[in-house]
Amino acid sequence: MMMRRWLLSCLVLLGAWGLAQAQRAEHLLGPGDVVRIAVYQNPDLSLETRISELGEIAFPLIGSVNLAGRSTTSAQNEIARLLREGNFVNNPQVSVALMQVRSAQVSILGQVARPGRYPIETAGSKVSEMIAAAGGINPEGGNVVTLTGTRNGQPVKIEIDLPAVLQGGRADLDAPVANGDTLFVDRGPVFFIYGEVQRPGQFRLERGTTLMQALAQGGGLTQRGTERGMRVHRKDANGNVRVLQLNLTDLVERDDVIYVRESIF
């Protein structure tokens, strides 16, 4: 019995903590946001409207109401108070739903088609949706989007693997964006191959690329080239270059430099 009471107490505390977190993260209304307002059993008082540049809306019976800086819960309470104190509705039950978010913006930088600042059109918009609004990632861009911003007053940095989200069905990895966030798409990883190959140069590194596949991207060996004695120059975590001899089935890593030697026979 005591264990059960303890578990119930923990659940109550966790529920209160979760509610507090949700309240802190709730969007504050601002100019440009679109809200839908309904008053129970008073359909004539229902409307969908955009908050003006002054942060106000025009509401039936009570006139201008300033909603800027308020949460939807606070907006509900304010409209209900004005209806009640004006003797327009007895015990009004008001609901305010956020339909479009235009007061909040996200900066999208790096390898996207149209870098710039974009409004968060809908509450709860995800990283993938904002990248799509910017025209998607350029061919030179990488697969990872880095989100930087603040949550509950603390700086955050999140890396979102877009292929895992869009192709792997991992919607749980698609983080929601918030006002003031910056999304950055870096250049995609590359490797270099030179020596006795048909097309030496720089190539995009796809996931899971083996040394054999890297050789194929370089057009294969020349008549003088040999797979024996190939060297891979790779930087370690400290920036020091190590010279490795890999098997053809080993994976190539970002910024690897592959050198194909000439056969001595």
| Structure confidence by residue, pLDDT tens digits, 197-255 | 999 999 999 989 999 999 999 999 998 888 887 899 999 888 899 999 889 999 999 99
Nearest to 227 by CA among 200, 246, 250: 246
Give residue 120's pLDDT band: very low, low, confident or very high (50, 70, 90): confident
Q: Looking at the chain, how many residues does it have?
A: 265
d(CA 249, CA 211): 6
pLDDT the model gives residue 26 = 66
Please state the rounded mean pLDDT for residues 63-83.
94
Mean pLDDT of all residues in 151-175: 91
List C-alpha distances in Å: 44 to 33, 40, 60, 78. 22, 10, 8, 18
| Percent above pLDDT 90 for the chain | 66
- Quick check: 18 pLDDT over 80? no
The alpha carbon of 144 is separated from its chain's Cα centroid by a whole number of angstroms, namely: 10
Q: Which residues sit opposite 59 in a β-bridge?
A: 63
Q: Over range 28-37, report the average pLDDT.
A: 90
The pair phi, psi for residue 242, each rounded to 5°, is -110, 145
Question: In terms of DSSP H, where are the helices of the chain?
Answer: 2-25, 72-85, 127-133, 162-166, 211-217
Instruction: Provide the pLDDT for residue 21.
Output: 37
Q: Is the pLDDT of residue 8 over 70?
A: no
pLDDT at 1 over 80: no
Scanning the structure block, which residue is given the tokens 């024996």? Answer: 228
Residue-level pLDDT at 166: 87
pLDDT at 70: 93
Residue 264: the pLDDT is: 73
Question: Tokens 């839908």, residue?
Answer: 36
Query: Has residue 10 got a pLDDT over 80?
Result: no
